[in-house]
Chains A and B, each alone.
Chain A
Amino acid sequence: MKSRHKKLVVIVLALAGIGIAAALILNAFRSNLVFFFSPTEVAEGKAPTDRAFRIGGLVVDGSLKREADGLTVSFVVTDTAKSIPVTYKGILPDLFKEGKGVVAEGKLGADGLFTATQVLAKHDENYMPPEAAHALEQAAKAQQTLQQ
């Protein structure tokens, strides 16, 4: 092979490699994106029922209940306009508290119960998880437009 041909082979191989990597990355990216929905959006039926997503808002005061096994908990997440009941089996994070912000990842059942696989409340005491703050903000905006 002439050196020009060799160069061409190297370039073609490199491009093919990059192409495969890019396809792999973008495919994994599309199938692993986790979208966020506020309780209002879930109530409006905007959330998917076949794939996991995240919800966020405040844990309603007095809504935290424990099953007899001590590890399965249920609570209600609200954005002050709408609420979603959530169930979770596992140990809650340190900063999980009634009346505080929370984000949960999981799937929505046909009965409207959200089964969480992960509960996040990993920020400091005063801090609201960004998604939860976003949900509350949107609900407040919606109420304002209703009043006007």
Chain B
Amino acid sequence: MIPELGHFALIVALLLALTQSILPLVGARRGNLTLMSVARPAAQGQFVFVALAFACLAWSFLTNDFTVENVARNSFSQLPEVYRFTATWGSHEGSMLMWVMILGFWTTAVSVFSRHLPDDMVARVIGIMGLISVGFLAFLLTTSNPFERLVPAPMDGRDMNPLLQDWGMIIHPPMLYMGYVGFAVAFAFAIAALLSGKLDAAWARWSRPWTTVAWAFLTLGIVLGAWWAYRELGWGGWWFWDPTENASFMPWLAGTALIHSLAVTEKRGAFKAWTVLLALIAFSLSLLGTFLVRSGVLSSVHAFATDPARGSFILGFLAVVIGGSLILYAWRAPRMITGGAFTWFSREALLLANNVILLAAMGSVLLGTLYPLFMDAMGMGKISVGPPYFNAVFVPVMAPVLFLVGVGPLARWKEASLPDLFARLKWALAVAVVTGLLLPFTLDGFNPWATLGFALAAWILLTVLVGFRERMQHGTRLTQLPRAFWGMQLAHLGLAWGIAGITVVANYQLERNVRMNVGDYTELAGYTFTFQGATEYNGPNYRAAKGTVEVTRDGRKIATLHPEKRIYNASGMPMTEAAIHPSFFRDLYVALGEPLDDQARTWAVRVFYKPFIDWLWIGALFLVVGGFLAASDRRYRIALKKLAIPAGAASQGA
């Protein structure tokens, strides 16, 4: 019963989404307030029904209803309850359902926090988000119904992929989707502006906080994914330039460019056409990311071709959304009046440079991700593009952006003076260069990459401090500075922090693979790792060998680590569960390889010394907090209050 109810709720949601998109869009075109006023209740109703469908699916998972194919494939009776719940979005169908639910959430949020916006703007924005909903709901109902029954029903399920049974993976997809789908708001605002022709600073002010919040969620989602990979894959790495990772990184790069160009459009009225284009690109890349990860095209181009329904639907949807919005853009953008003249050396110009480089970096990732797929699909041979390509390209392309992070916030709008900036920043520059040159010698001798990383991190940190000092020169206290300023500076500080961490861990980490019998020890970075054997135990849905490794330093005990090797009951899939001893300046990381004798007394053991890796997570957290802080700036709320009165008066008059 419950799965059918969920299926029915999805159909109702589709009808509501159609209502939500068609009536308000027509109403906005004709200036019909009655039709426009359908937008809000329809959007909220759609969200309620999608959420109901999601709850039904979650209920099927929690009650082990293996008559539902999706449950039978992705869950297992022995699976702990929390994972049975998260398995709801572990599968293709479930994750698509979550995508629409989050879209409904964002649309509802727009419908609630848009009282101050002109009615036709709200109608268009909600209508366009409704159209996206229609696409995804139709996709779910026609090709990926999560409530499909299975006859005859199996006795038990096939279990969730063991890799996903981790709490990093519980919150990674929702956060990532909050980011992806959040760009739909920026997209809808951009399309609405193109449709109405009203593209002014007010437009940028409305869409800016939404975009920043979406960006912060996307950042959080990506970092959670990296953190999960670090702890769960057992290889000690946190970023592999894997296509699934690149799929989320491309919208992030475009989104980063977007939040910066929105700043220019809001403050100076310039770059309007460019900002709109970036909004379209950011959301298109979010769709592309969803498509790459969810269509199965990455695991096999051929499997994709043999089951064409899903793939061709998504490709068609992508073509309509991207193609349609670009055509609309080509038609409407030339009519936009560009305002706010500026010279070639000004904050505007520096932000434009930042945008161009970020997009170039995005293009390089896109090339490396799509080219192998393209070659394979064309039958032109199998190739792979690995980390060496991305590292060789990405670091040099991004270095200028990171340098500009230090200059941009201190340059004046309209026209900046190079001698003036140099005078303000010469000390920061000198200290950063010296830090970059000297710091590597205290660690492990000269290394050009370490020098570059340290210099950039120090440069950003120092320029952030200069920024604070200059703002406080005239007696302004820290607490009086606007949240937007705090947000920007914290995010840039986080960037510096993260770069410092990445630089150290990438250049100075140590790894050792050793064969260890009970009582054997190995030394790494001054720490002694003693293997004390492995014991077997039974987990809820797996059997495991649990190793014990004692870590000491100069005879002092540091930690006892328990890396595990698990075999999952339902799938028979083996899993490495690394054990990590974290601290502010280094992680000690131990993972079990395979047993090397029949009694499982001797094991291959992988030991890592990961200096400063936690700085990466801390830096990322600053980025996220900075984003939320900037989006909560007073001026957006003041704008709300100021605009609320005339808007309300206008609707009363009409």
Contacts and interface: CB of A to CB of B under 8 A. Distances in A.
Nearest to B602: A70
B299 interface: yes
B299 A123 contact: yes
Interface stretch (B90-98, B103-111, B388-396, B454-462): B388-396
Interface in A1-51: 6, 9-10, 13-14, 17-18, 21-22, 24-25, 28-29, 31-36
Contact of B383 (A22, A34, A95, A125): A34
B513 A6 contact: no
B573 A32 contact: no
Interface in B488-517: 513-515
B349 A10 contact: yes
Contacts of B575: 94
Contacts of B576: 94
Given A24-B396, A70-B604, A91 B300 contact: no
A81 interface: no
A70 B363 CA distance: 44
A130 interface: yes
Contacts of B301: 130
Interface residues of B, number: 45
B261 to A, nearest CB: 15
B356 A17 contact: yes
Nearest to A34: B384
A69 interface: yes
Nearest to B388: A32
B593 interface: yes
A131 B376 CA distance: 10
B318 to A, nearest CB: 22
Contact of B513 (A33, A34, A91): A91
Nearest to A90: B513
Contact of B397 (A25, A29, A34, A127): A25
Given A17-B356, A131-B382, A66 B571 contact: no
B452 interface: no
Contacts of B383: 33-36
Contacts of A31: 392
Nearest to B387: A32
A36 B372 CA distance: 11
Nearest to A36: B382
Given A34-B383, A125-B573, A10 B344 contact: yes
A131 B161 CA distance: 22
B367 interface: yes
A107 interface: no
A125 B576 CA distance: 14
Contact of A25 (B364, B515, B593, B604): B364
Nearest to B605: A91
Nearest to A131: B382
A146 B294 CA distance: 39
A82 interface: no
Contact of A18 (B360, B368, B371): B360
Contacts of B360: 18, 21-22, 25
Interface in A53-105: 54, 66, 69-71, 90-92, 94-95, 105
A32 B574 contact: no
B593 A92 contact: yes
B425 interface: no
9 contacts: A28-B392, A28-B393, A32-B392, A34-B383, A34-B385, A35-B382, A90-B513, A91-B593, A130-B299
Given A17-B356, A32-B388, 5 more contacts: A6-B343, A32-B392, A33-B385, A34-B383, A133-B300
Interface of B: 161, 234, 299-302, 343-344, 349, 353, 356-357, 360, 363-364, 367-368, 371, 381-386, 388-389, 392-393, 396-397, 513-515, 571-576, 593-594, 596, 602, 604, 606
- Nearest first, the 3 A-B pairs at minimum CB distance are A70-B515, A91-B593, A32-B389
